[in-house]
């Protein structure tokens, strides 16, 4: 897989992200400083955003437009991430259960 195909590959500079989202660089820095969206850093210390982080910034912008504070945005994004983790865990458990089930004609009488 190429890095461009990886949603978590840190490929975009803060300037590129600001231009993509029509946001100010200072706003992106503040999201980082407040722990809302914390991008990776290059060897030289520059912020590098992944596509996933860019989506989080866009979501943060919408939440702020709806009246949430940065602390509120941070909490909402953390809760959503937690829910995604729980959903993935549940899907994995469901897959294990499904693999353990035999078709009715192959089940042993109980």
Tokens of 53: 């982080």
Cα dihedral angle (5, 41, 60, 53), rounded to 10 degrees? 10
The 3-class SS string of the chain reads CCHHHCCCCCCEEHHHHHHHHCCCHHHHHHHHHCCCCCCEECCCCCEEECHHHHHHHHHHHHHHHCCCCHHHHHHHHHHHHHHHHHHHHHHHHHHHHHHHCCCHHHCCCC
Per-residue pLDDT tens digits of the chain, which is 110 residues long: 666 778 888 889 999 999 999 999 999 999 999 999 999 999 999 999 999 999 999 999 999 999 999 999 999 999 999 999 999 999 998 888 888 875 655 556 65
Q: What is the pLDDT of residue 104?
A: 57
Q: In 3D, which of 27, 25, 34, 18 has the Cα closest to residue 77?
A: 34
Rounded to two decimals, the pTM is: 0.79
Q: What is the pLDDT of residue 110?
A: 53
Q: What is the pLDDT of residue 89?
A: 94
């Amino acid at each position: 897989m190429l890095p461009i195909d990886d949603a978590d590959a840190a490929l975009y500079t803060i300037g590129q992200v600001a231009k993509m989202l029509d946001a100010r660089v200072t706003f992106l820095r503040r999201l980082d400083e407040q722990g809302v969206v914390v991008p990776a850093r290059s060897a030289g210390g520059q912020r590098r955003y992944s596509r996933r982080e860019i989506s989080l910034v866009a979501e943060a912008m919408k939440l702020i437009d709806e009246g949430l504070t940065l602390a509120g945005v941070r909490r909402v994004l953390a809760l959503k991430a937690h829910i995604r983790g729980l959903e993935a865990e549940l899907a994995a458990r469901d897959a294990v259960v499904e693999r353990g089930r035999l078709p009715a004609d192959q089940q042993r009488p109980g």
